[in-house]
Amino acid sequence: MGSFMKSYIVFCISLFWIFATQPTYAGDVDENVDDEVIVTATRSKLPTKDYAGSVSVLGQEQLQLIAPVHPAEALNEIAGVNIHRNSGQEHLTAIRSPVLTGGAGAGSFLYLEDGVPLRAAGFSNVNGLFEGALDLAGGVEVTKGPGSVLYGSNAVHGLVNILSQAPSSEQDLLVDIIGSSAGYVRLKTSANGNALSGRYRISASLAHDAGFREDSGFDQQKIQVRHDVDIGRWSLKTLATFQNLNQETAGFIRGFEAYKDSNVSRTNPNPEAFRDGKSARIAMHFTKVTDNNSRLSFIPYARWTDLSFRRHFVPGKALEDNGHKSVGLLSSVSGISSFGEYTLGIDAEYTKGYLREFQPGPSVFSFIQGDHFDYDVRSYVSSAYAQNRFDLGAKTKINIGVRADYTYYDYQNKIDNGRFGRFIRIPDRQDSFFVVTPKVGITHKFSDNISAYGRYARAGRAPQVTDAYSLQLGQVAGEIKPEILDSFELGLKGNTGSVTFELAAFAMQKENFFFRNANGFNVVDGKTKHRGIELSFAAPLSDFLDISGGFTLANHTYDFTDIVGSPSSSITKGNQVDTAPNTLGFLQITAQPKPKLQTSLKWQHVGDYYLDSGNTTKYGGHNVFTLRSNYQLTRKLNIYGRVDNLFDAAYADRADFAFGSYRYFPARPRALFFGIRYQG
C-alpha cells in the first residue's frame, strides 16, 4: 500500500474518531417515517406501500454520497441487482436474473430516462446504461421483475429509470470535481435560471479515465437540458440529453484464474478493441389535470444513436456499426370512476435502423473475413394498455391490467444472400409479433406503516433485430418467437419506528429464451426458471451509527435439454444457468457523529457461479470492501473521498468460459478517489 493511500485511510479513521468522541445530541426519533414515493410504475407519484411490486430508489443525496463513476457502483447497492463491470463504461446487467449477454442482455432490461426508453425496443444496447445520464441524475428507480402495464418490450426482468434533476430556485450553481489515483477525473457542473416563462437546468459531465490496463481508458461527455413551464392548465417538461463516448477497450485475459496475477491483469490482449458511441434524445412531457380530476399525459419524443465497436470477444474480432433514429408518442389518461382508479394508454413508435458487421482480419475457424451482415430495418410499434385499481376493503386494493404490443419489422438486406462461414445472410422479409401481457396485483395494509403485496405479471418482448436477422448456422429465418416470462411475487414492506425493510419472494419462468451458447451458436427456444428471496433494510445502531444492507438468495436453472457441440455448451434440464450467483449482497455501516461528517464502510458480496451451461467450470466469487468519507466544509463546500477495493483483493468483475478457455475482466486494484463539490 502506498504512503499516500495509508495516509488517506488514517485521515478518514482519525477524523471519524475525533468527532465520534465529542458529545452529540440526538433529536426525537420520528416513529412515523414518511413513505417513499415512486414515479416509474404510473408516471405520477405513488407511495411504495401502495404498489404491488418491488421498486428500489436511490435519491439524489444517496447518489452524491456514492459518487459513482460507473453504474455498477450505485445499482449494486440494490438487492437482486448484479451489474457486471466490463472494460471502461461497458457493463452487463442482472436483475432477478443471470447476467445476460447479447440480444438477451440487451432485450431483457428496459433503461429509461424520466419514463422514456433510451433506445427503441428492438435496437437495444447490452451496455445501454452508459447512454443514460446517471451522473447528472436527481435519482434512479429500479423495478425488479416485469414492469407495469405502462411498459412493453424489454420490461422483462427489470427496469432502470434514471430521473432527471428538476430546476431549483434555491441552487444556482454546482461544480463537482472528482479524481482518482488510477488516472480518472471528472468535472460535473449544473446551473439554474429563468427562461421562456419557466425554469431551466443545464448540466454537463466531462470524464476522462486513463484505464488501469494497457491501451485502455475512455473520454465521455454528457450534456442535459431541462425546462419546466406551466402553460395555462398544462405543465410542460422538456428534457434533452446528449452523450458521446470514445473508449479504448481492454479485452478478456485468458487462463484459469489469470486475474490473480497482478502483471497479467494489467495487460490487454486486444489493444485494437474500441467502442465509440453517440446518442441524443429529446422528450416533451405534457401533463394536464382536468376539472373532474382526471390526468392527461402526452410525451412526444425523438432519439438518435450511433455506435461503432470491435467484437473482440469472439474469434473473428469483426467491426460492427449500428444505429437508429426514432420518433414516438406515449399517451395516457387516468382518473377515478365508479369502478375505481383507472389508467388507459396508447403508445406508438417508428424507428429506422441499420447494422453492418465486417471482419477485416483473416478467417478464424468459421469466422470468415469480409462482410458478415449489412442490412436496414424499419420498425413500427403500437401498444395499448388499461388498468383499474379498486378497493376490496378498507385496507385492501387490487390492481388489474393488460397490455398489448404489436411490433412490425421491415428488413432489407444490402449484400448477397446465403451462407458466409457460420453466418447466414437472409433475403428481404417482413415479420410481425403480437404480445399480450396481463398483470394482477393486490396490496393489503396491516397498519399505516406496514403492507403486504402479491403479484402475477406476464412480460413479453419482441426479438431484438440482431437476433432476428443476424443469423448463424442452425437457424431458420422466421423461427424466432417473442420471449415470454411469467412472474409470481409476494412481499412485505414498511417500517417499524426508524427501521425500514422490504422482504420479497419471487418465482419466474421464461420461454422462447434466445441466447448464444459457449461456442457462440444461437439457441432460439430456451427455457429457464428463476426462484429467489430478497431482503433490504436500514436501521440505526446508535445516535450516530446506522446499518443498511440488501441480500439475495436465488436459484436460476435451465428448464430444457439441448446438447450442442462440446461439453462446455451442453445444456441439461436442471443445470444452473451460467453467470448466476446463488448469493448476492451488501452490508454498510455508516457513522455520522456530527451533522457535517459521514463515514461508511461497505462490504459487497458476490457468490460463486458456473461459467458454462454444462456446469463444468466455476468462478469462486468475491468479497470487496469500500471506505467512504464525506465532510461539509462550509455551507456551500463539500469534500469527499473513498477507497475502492480497500484490501486490494484480486478478483474478476466478470468471469466467463467460452471457445475453450477461461476468460476474465480483472477488477481494478485498490484506488483512492477524492472530490470537492461546490453548491451555491
pTM of this prediction?
0.93
CATH tag, 3-679 = 2.40.170.20
Please report the pLDDT score of residue 170 as a whole number. Answer: 77
Please report the pLDDT score of residue 519 as a whole number. Answer: 66
* Cα 287 from Cα 301, distance rounded (Å): 14
Q: Which residues of the chain have pLDDT under 50?
A: 1, 3-33, 565-568
Give the domain ranges of the chain: 3-679
Please report the pLDDT score of residue 615 as a whole number. Answer: 92
Following DSSP, what letter does each residue of 181-232 receive, concatenated?
Answer: TTSEEEEEEEEEEEETTEEEEEEEEEEEE--SSTT-EEEEEEEEEEEEEEET
Q: Which three cell numbers stand for residue 232?
A: 395555462
How large is the C-alpha radius of gyration of the chain?
25
3-state secondary structure of 108: coil
Residue with cell 403480437: 434
Which residues touch 634 (CB under 8 Å, ≥6 apart)?
none
**Residue 465 near residue 324 (C-beta atoms within 8 A):** no
Which residues touch 566 (CB under 8 Å, ≥6 apart)?
518, 519, 660
Please report the pLDDT score of residue 24 as a whole number. Answer: 35
Please report the pLDDT score of residue 172 as a whole number. Answer: 83
- Dihedral of CA 164/170/175/178: which sign? negative
- For the purposes of burial, counting CB atoms within 10 Å of the CB of 536, is it exposed (0-12), middle (13-18) or buried (19 or more)? buried
Please report the pLDDT score of residue 564 as a whole number. Answer: 55
Could you give the C-alpha distances from 253 to 417, 420, 581, 656, in angstroms and in order? 36, 29, 21, 10
